[in-house]
Amino acid sequence: MRTVGVEEELLLVDPENGDPRAMSAAVLARAAADVTGEQVFEKELHDQMVEFATHPQEDMADLRAEIVRCRKEAAGYAGGLGCAVAALATSPLPLSPSVGVNHRYRWMAEQYDITSRQLVCGCHVHVCVESDEEGVAVADRVRPWLSVLSALSANSPFWQGRDTGYSSYRSRVWQQWPSAGPTEVFGSAEEYHRRVADMVATGVILDEAMVYFDARLSERYPTVEIRVADVCLHADSAVLVAMLARGLVETAAREWRAGVPPVDRSVSLVRLANWRAARFGLTDRLLHPATLRPAPAAEVVGALLEHVGEALADSGDLAHAREACERLLRDGNGAQVQRDLLERTGSLREVVTGCVRRTQE
């Protein structure tokens, strides 16, 4: 069975008023000083966020347990400094983010004006592959389906103190990076690596790690990394995204081995599907991956489950995935939870503090 790992970026906030706090260096120092804990936490671009990465897991219950544990440990380290962590993909409250001091981040800050506007938190899923050839074949075949993961995980309706009208505004902010977004079909690992080398050679990006494709070969691990999801408010939603991502990778690999060619959707159409998922989440129609025509969100989610159903059944995850999708369609994703909190409390500060509690539930 393919292993899955998850990277989550968490927002550091004041537990009383919800304001983002530039405390990542102190939080990481406390984590490093804890000899009883594993070193799973990493620095990110901005000082108001911290990232952790799980181990590769085969069993989804084990993955969930590790996500919950890492969130709890992050909360503990932050709490010791009078800070809190929130699984929010954007800050609902206004802020001016600060960039970390290392050479790489300083280069990015000097090269791109957007770093001052890029405080966003995502969820990246790594699914193991046997080779670069298999990985590129997977990336070529999952392209039309990734917008559904965006809709399910959408958790960023607010930006700089206002409702943007989007469910995943993080994804719109993220598209400002010059290398971000969907890709064309590569066809081979050789062509993939040639394209990446050409991008680095332009000097616009620093290195291969800055190739921010929606689905890419990891530079560090033998995995395909799927990078379209907001960090999810609830751990169960993160597990669902990981589960579906593994199902997509396994299904695509089986198609490749069977000689089924990828559906060569144009990048422009895939971008439109991504935009609609970001705009509406699960509250309106999405673009159906098979037709790229509007269809009810429940129908599109059902199509994804059908597409990966055999792979999910083989891994023992099908019933769990169906139940989790039904719950999200019924109760709402993180964006809907945030808007409900605002409607009930009338305060974006209460939205943040409410999400701090939900991050560890």
The CATH number covering residue 294 comes to 3.30.590.20
Would residue 336 be called left, alpha or beta, if left means φ above 0 and alpha means ψ between -120 and 50 degrees?
alpha
Q: What per-residue confidence (pLDDT) applies to 111?
A: 85
Instruction: Please state the separation of Cα 332 from the chain's center in Å.
Output: 17
Amino acid at 155: N
Q: Which residue has the tokens 């394209």?
A: 195
**DSSP-derived 3-state class of residue 311:** helix
Q: How does residue 280 score in pLDDT terms, banded at 50, 70 and 90?
A: very high
User: Which pair of structure tokens corresponds to residue 348?
Assistant: 């974006």
Q: Which residue has the tokens 């907001």?
A: 230
Q: Per-residue pLDDT for 17 more than 70?
A: yes
H helix or E strand, kind and range, residue 58 = none
| Domain of 23, in residue numbers | 4-359
Burial of 232 (0-12, 13-18, 19+ CB in 10 A): buried
Q: What per-residue confidence (pLDDT) applies to 116?
A: 63
Q: Using CA of residue 181, residue 182, residue 188, residue 194, what is the dihedral sign?
A: negative
Please give the model's pTM, rounded to 2 decimal places: 0.95
Q: How does residue 34 score in pLDDT terms, banded at 50, 70 and 90?
A: confident
Structural domain count, the chain:
1
Q: Per-residue pLDDT for 228 more than 70?
A: yes
Q: Which whole number is the average pLDDT over 80-106?
A: 89
Q: How does residue 361 score in pLDDT terms, banded at 50, 70 and 90?
A: confident
Q: Per-residue pLDDT for 37 more than 80?
A: no
Rounded distance between C-alpha atoms, residue 232 and residue 216, angstroms:
21
Residue 176: how many CB atoms within 10 A of its CB? 13
Q: Percentage of the chain surpassing pLDDT 70?
A: 99
Instruction: Please state the separation of Cα 115 from the chain's center in Å.
Output: 18
Q: What per-residue confidence (pLDDT) applies to 38?
A: 77
Q: Per-residue pLDDT for 264 more than 90?
A: no
Condensed to tens digits (0 to 9), the pLDDT of residues 169-186 reads 999 999 999 999 999 999
CA atoms within 13 A on the CB side of 237: 31
CA atoms within 13 A on the CB side of 12: 27
Higher pLDDT, 313 or 111: 313
- Choose the weakest-confidence range: 30-44, 81-95, 126-140: 30-44
CB within 8 A of 199, min separation 6: which ones?
179, 205, 211
User: Which pair of structure tokens corresponds to residue 358?
Assistant: 């939900």
SS3 content of the chain, % helix, strand, coil (to 5): 50, 15, 35
Q: How does residue 36 score in pLDDT terms, banded at 50, 70 and 90?
A: confident
Q: What per-residue confidence (pLDDT) applies to 172?
A: 96
φ and ψ at residue 119, rounded to 5 degrees:
-75, 90
Q: What per-residue confidence (pLDDT) applies to 340?
A: 98
Rounded distance between C-alpha atoms, residue 81 and residue 77, angstroms:
7
Q: Which whole number is the average pLDDT over 106-110?
A: 83
Q: How does residue 101 score in pLDDT terms, banded at 50, 70 and 90?
A: low
